[in-house]
């Protein structure tokens, strides 16, 4: 195992690669971690892949709610594929070097897909809002063209800004060390390696986070405040239970993703520690995508029936 470390004694050095330290401090658990993350990756790909398949094949799931769920499952597969294969490679080969271009590419895809997830979760909450608050107008308001437009905006909306932010971060000079105490290239640990004052870059990160995280989260809260108000006015308890059950899965995913992500990016950079950052990142990069198929399938009768039908045909 070779780690190329930059130590310039305070002078600016041309960094040609970084070292993702990842879980190198757990030297006795490398094999176990490789097996664990390998299983998690398979669970994410197979679980979300099954959801995509049943939403395409089952006529009962040809509705906007499941169209967005299929998009969300596709996103989760892409999202974990940005980080997990690299983790598995490092654990298997013990080679933790990553080029500057590779690091920038990983960060850019991670930020773009993270923005897509924020937007898509907001769109899914809007879909539930229209379905519950305006059930008679729902087929008109959420027609196939509108759904496709909302999905496209979610996938493409963050690309220009996140490419710009990635270029801005990697235009910095890095000094003293090229070792990243993380398992993937993320903003906080990279900024810590930069020379000089990074306050302007930190401020731009906060602005982007407010735009791509806080705004969708506020829209989600607004949607669910309207949903709760409408549901509480329903005449029967059975109707209230059914309405809440269709939203509970989505709410759980929102809390897991936004909770861990917000704590990571809205804390002052000076308060970041590698251990805390890695723990929080595990939640929104790996744990949440792993549990999403279970959350949506176990709490949705239509999905359970469609999965059972598909498995019986195999």
Domain residue ranges in the chain: 17-309
Q: Residue 51: is its pLDDT beyond 50?
A: yes
Label residues 138-153 b or e (16+ Cβ within 10 Å = b). beeebeeeebeebbee
Share of the chain above pLDDT 90, in %: 43
Task: Inform me whether the pLDDT recorded for 62 exceeds 50.
Answer: yes
Q: Please, what is the average pLDDT of the chain?
A: 84
Residues in the chain: 314
Contact predicate 246/231, CB 8 Å = no
Instruction: Identify the CA nearest to 67 among candidates 132, 159, 145.
Output: 145
Q: Which residues contact 236 (CB under 8 A, 6 or more apart)?
A: none
Scanning the structure block, which residue is given the tokens 């190198």?
24
**Model confidence pLDDT, tens digit, residues 214-254:** 899 899 989 988 988 888 887 777 666 766 666 777 777 78
Fold designation for 17-309? Rhopdopsin 7-helix transmembrane proteins (1.20.1070)
60 pLDDT band, cuts 50/70/90, is: confident
| Cβ-Cβ contacts under 8 Å for 195 (sequence gap 6 or more) | 12, 172, 173, 174, 175, 176
Q: Quote the pLDDT of residue 6.
A: 47
Region class of 176: left (phi > 0), else alpha (psi between -120 and 50), else beta = left
Q: Give me the pLDDT at residue 8, please.
A: 40
Q: What is the per-residue pLDDT for 246?
A: 64
* Distance in angstroms (rounded) separating the CA atoms of residues 48 and 294: 9
Q: What is the pLDDT of residue 271?
A: 57
Minimal CA–CA distance to 257: which of 156, 81, 114, 50?
A: 114
pLDDT digits (tens, 9 = 90+) for 101-130: 999 999 999 999 999 999 999 999 999 899
What is the pLDDT at residue 269?
A: 58
Predicted confidence (pLDDT) per residue in 262-311, tens digit: 776 666 655 556 667 777 788 778 888 888 877 777 667 788 888 888 87
């Amino acid at each position: 195992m070779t780690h190329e470390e930059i130590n310039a004694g305070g002078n600016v050095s041309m960094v040609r690669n970084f070292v993702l330290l990842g879980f190198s401090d757990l030297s006795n658990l490398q094999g176990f971690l490789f097996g664990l993350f390998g299983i998690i990756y398979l669970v994410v790909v197979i679980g979300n892949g099954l959801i995509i398949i049943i939403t395409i094949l089952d006529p009962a799931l040809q509705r906007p709610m499941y169209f967005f769920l299929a998009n969300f499952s596709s996103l989760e597969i892409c999202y974990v594929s940005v980080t997990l294969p690299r983790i598995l490679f490092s654990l298997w080969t013990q080679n933790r070097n990553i080029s500057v271009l590779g690091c920038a590419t990983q960060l850019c895809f991670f930020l773009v897909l993270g923005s897509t997830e924020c937007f898509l979760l907001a769109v899914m909450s809007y879909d539930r809002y229209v379905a519950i608050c305006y059930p008679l107008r729902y087929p008109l308001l959420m027609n196939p063209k509108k759904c496709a437009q909302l999905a496209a905006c979610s996938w493409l909306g963050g690309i220009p800004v996140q490419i710009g932010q990635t270029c801005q971060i990697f235009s910095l000079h890095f000094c003293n060390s090229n070792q990243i105490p993380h398992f993937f290239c993320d903003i906080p640990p990279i900024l810590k390696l930069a020379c000089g004052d990074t306050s302007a870059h930190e401020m731009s990160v906060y602005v982007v986070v407010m735009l791509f995280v806080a705004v969708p989260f506020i829209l989600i809260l607004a949607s669910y405040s309207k949903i709760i108000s409408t549901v509480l006015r329903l005449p029967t308890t059975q109707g209230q239970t059914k309405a809440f059950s269709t939203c509970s899965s989505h709410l759980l995913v929102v809390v897991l993703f936004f909770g861990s992500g917000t704590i990571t990016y809205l804390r002052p950079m000076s308060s970041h520690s590698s251990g805390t950052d890695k723990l929080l990142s595990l939640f929104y990069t790996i744990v949440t995508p792993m549990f999403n198929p279970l959350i949506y399938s176990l709490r949705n009768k239509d999905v359970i029936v469609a999965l059972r039908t598909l498995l019986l045909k195999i």
